Amino acid sequence: MAPGRPKDLGKRDAILAAAKQLFATHGFDGTSMDAIAQTAGVSKLTVYSHFGDKDALFKAAVAAKCEEQMPAAMFRVPAGTPLRDALLAIARGFHGLIHSPESLSLHRMMIANAGQDAHLAELFFEAGPRMTLDGFERFLDEAIAAGQLDVPDPVRASQHFFCLLKGIGHLKLLCGCQKPVPRKEVAAHIDSVVDMFLRAYGRPAQRKRG
């Protein structure tokens, strides 16, 4: 590829789609760049041209999966949007992400590799959980500046929010001892977490359910 020539975005998307599928199915070590190239219908040279190496492709695949469920725009709320609605949208996106088959497979893979491959764990955390936490922290900073929230420690509050959303149900799914939660129960769980968060950090006007 000539210097400065734009890369084919269609091929990049195909490579990412293949990587998300294969990493979730076969794990990091069980997925080769050859297999990703074959599944994407491109040459291995094209894969390396777009992503450089396997580590970079793994990070990009994790980030792409997060972006599908929780696009960056979700954390930049237009003026006038009710705070509870914005929190519900973020909560639903996160809940859908962590309960997706690909996410559950990757989480199980990371647990299985715990203590064996710190480098892989760092790649996963930076591309997924870290980006989500950073996005929500920026969201909280904007809500604080707008006088909608009173959050003494946005970093800790972000961790509380997402851990509450995971709840015991996510752990049961990871362990394989629970079937997918019915939609009605998911909605009730998300509502309760958002209401609890607003009771803890919301200004009086924000604590009332809309």
The C-alpha atoms of residue 201 and residue 138 are separated, in whole angstroms, by: 15
Q: Which residue has the tokens 């929230």?
A: 149
The closest alpha carbon to 146, from 80, 57, 59, 53, belongs to: 80
Average pLDDT for 201-206: 76
Is residue 2 very low, low, confident or very high in pLDDT (cuts 50, 70, 90)? very low
The verdict on pTM exceeding 0.75 is: yes
Q: How confident is the model at residue 205 (pLDDT cuts 50, 70, 90)?
A: low
- Go through the domains of the chain in sequence order and give each one's CATH number: 9-52 (1.10.10.60), 63-206 (1.10.357.10)
Nearest to 19 by CA among 53, 60, 49: 60
